Amino acid sequence: MKKTKANTKSVSKTKSELDKPVHDPEGLSSAAECLKTLGHPARLRMVQLLLHGRFTVGELAADCGIPDNVASEHLRLMQRCGFFTSQREGRKVFYQIAEPHLQGLMACIEGRFLSAAGR
């Protein structure tokens, strides 16, 4: 194979060019939208709770101190981002974590913003 300037140029990338993360505008836009969805105290509390088990809308609403219909809307928005799944059992609907990366994200939030006494 004959070496051309194009071949040499692509091989001789600088270290900083090789270390750069992939630029994915569409992926970053989706991430920003989903992170905005988490940007509410009641939603973060729901994530905290759901990382420890399954809960109904009523249970989550009571813990957050908000009406059931408001909790349902919060859950709907987060479920649309793929954070939660729901499962109907009789008359009750249980929510649970679907996105395993929420554990690490919440650990970061708790470590940075929540005091040890408040946990």
Instruction: Check: CB of residue 93 under 8 Å from CB of residue 86.
Output: yes
Does 79 fall in a domain? Answer: yes
pTM above 0.95, yes or no: no
Question: For the segment 13-31, what is each residue's pLDDT rounded down to a tens digit?
Answer: 676 777 899 999 999 999 9
What's the pLDDT at 17? Answer: 72
What is the extent of the structural domain holding 101?
A: 41-119
Does 111 fall in a domain? Answer: yes
Does 107 fall in a domain? Answer: yes
Instruction: Check: CB of residue 50 under 8 Å from CB of residue 103.
Output: no
Q: Does 116 have pLDDT greater than 70?
A: no
Residue identified by tokens 């194979």 is 1
Q: Does 1 have pLDDT greater than 90?
A: no
3-state secondary structure of 56: strand
Does 98 fall in a domain? Answer: yes
* CATH code for position 90: 1.10.10.10
Question: For the segment 39-50, what is each residue's pLDDT rounded down to a tens digit?
Answer: 999 999 999 999
User: Around Cβ 43, how many Cβ atoms within 10 Å?
Assistant: 18
Does 31 fall in a domain? Answer: no
Q: Does 2 have pLDDT greater than 70?
A: no
What's the pLDDT at 7? Answer: 52
Question: For the segment 71-113, what is each residue's pLDDT rounded down to a tens digit?
Answer: 999 999 999 999 999 999 999 999 999 999 999 999 999 999 9
